[in-house]
Structure 1
Amino acid sequence: MAGDDEGRLRPTGWRVPALLVVAGALLGVLLTNALPALPLLPWSAIPTLLLLALAEGFTAGRTRRRIRHEPGTEPIQPLSAARLVALAKASALFASLALGFFAGMALTVSDMLVLPTQREVFLTALFTALSAGLLLAAALYLEYCCRVPEDDDRGDEPPAAR
């Protein structure tokens, strides 16, 4: 039935992050072109995004082992798994938007790299976009690791009974 799937949480597909990357890139280009002089971007976003990506990647590995009931791990509580999925989805959406925005900024100033300010803005925007890309990958991996594996002993039951 179509009504049964309404309350289910669906995995993040490729369309929404791709749309957010494009929208972010458009915003980055428009903002960069609208400013008469570019201010220097803070570089602190780069290590922040990298630390978030590292933390989510580490959490994803631990969560996957706990969901699969591997030896030496304790089972994960369903509410904890739901919170991790919410974190992963929010991180994926934010990282998509940030990736597009900073890539758009880097693309806009890429033709003026002879000027020191534009070169610094370009490098900061480029590395921030790359860091956001790593966060996006880690968030999608965390979301993937929160999936419950199918039980082989229930293979003969119809999907509605599971």
Structure 2
Amino acid sequence: MKLKPTRVLDLVANVLVAALAAWIATRVAYDSFPPISIYAGTSLYPVAAIEVALAFVIRARVNDRQVGGDRHQLHPITAARAVALAKASLQVGSIAAGVWLGFLCWVLPQRGTLRAAAADSPGAIVGMFAGVALVAAALWLEYCCRAPDDPSDDPATT
């Protein structure tokens, strides 16, 4: 079975399902939620930064044909683990972005009438962008882990 790149449509579906679930939960139980600080959603930013750095390292090694079993090369298992990290991060990031989006869809219209909603909005916005940043970083990492195209088996024509 060949591992294929993540489809953007799957990520959009994650966002929409998570947003709907979060909107319903927020609508039903907002009064029992704790206050959302500006730092509530920031935990995904460092993960996104690490994935971007890892993507650049892997991309450089792949472009320089430095993938293999030698100790100075990028081991293929390391690249496979990076792909697994990217795939998992795509799921986490898209779901997190959806949850924060659903929360925002309920909170933003309530800002004028509820002081708590106005106070919770900045933290939710930071969290939503953290999810988007993780998705972007994971897509980049997944892209950088692609195997270079194999040379054609067809004989050269002259």
Aligned length: 148
Aligned partner of 1:39 in structure 2 is 34
The yes-or-no answer on 1:23 pairing with 2:17 is yes
Do the aligned partners of residues 69 and 19 (structure 1) sit closer, same or farther apart at CA in structure 2, a change above 3 Å counting? same
Moved over 6 A (4+): none
In the superposition, the TM-score normalised over structure 1's length comes to: 0.84
In the superposition, the TM-score normalised over structure 2's length comes to: 0.86
1:13 corresponds, among 7, 12, 26, to: 7
1:117 to partner: Cα distance: 1.1
Q: Which runs of 5+ in 2 are unaligned?
A: 67-71
Which amino acid in structure 2 is aligned with residue 22 of structure 1? L
Aligned partner of 1:81 in structure 2 is 79
Contact 2:83 2:145 in 1 (8 A): yes
1:105 to partner: Cα distance: 0.4
Q: CA RMSD in A?
A: 1.9
Q: Aligned runs of 1:119-158 on 2, under 5 Å?
A: 119-151=118-150, 154-157=151-154
Q: Which runs of 5+ in 1 are unaligned?
A: 1-6, 158-162
1:44 to partner: Cα distance: 3.5
Which has the larger displacement, 106-115 or 18-27?
106-115
1:136 to partner: Cα distance: 0.5
Which amino acid in structure 1 is aligned with residue 149 of structure 2? E
The yes-or-no answer on 1:116 pairing with 2:115 is yes
Which amino acid in structure 1 is aligned with residue 97 of structure 2? L
Contact 1:12 1:89 in 2 (8 A): yes
Contact 1:102 1:129 in 2 (8 A): yes
1:45 to partner: Cα distance: 3.9
Which has the larger displacement, 84-93 or 47-56?
47-56
3-state SS of 1:47 partner: coil
Deviations 1:43-96 (A, max 9, x none): 43433111111111111001100112268xx42111111100000000001100
% identical equivalent positions: 32
Which amino acid in structure 2 is aligned with residue 44 of structure 1? Y
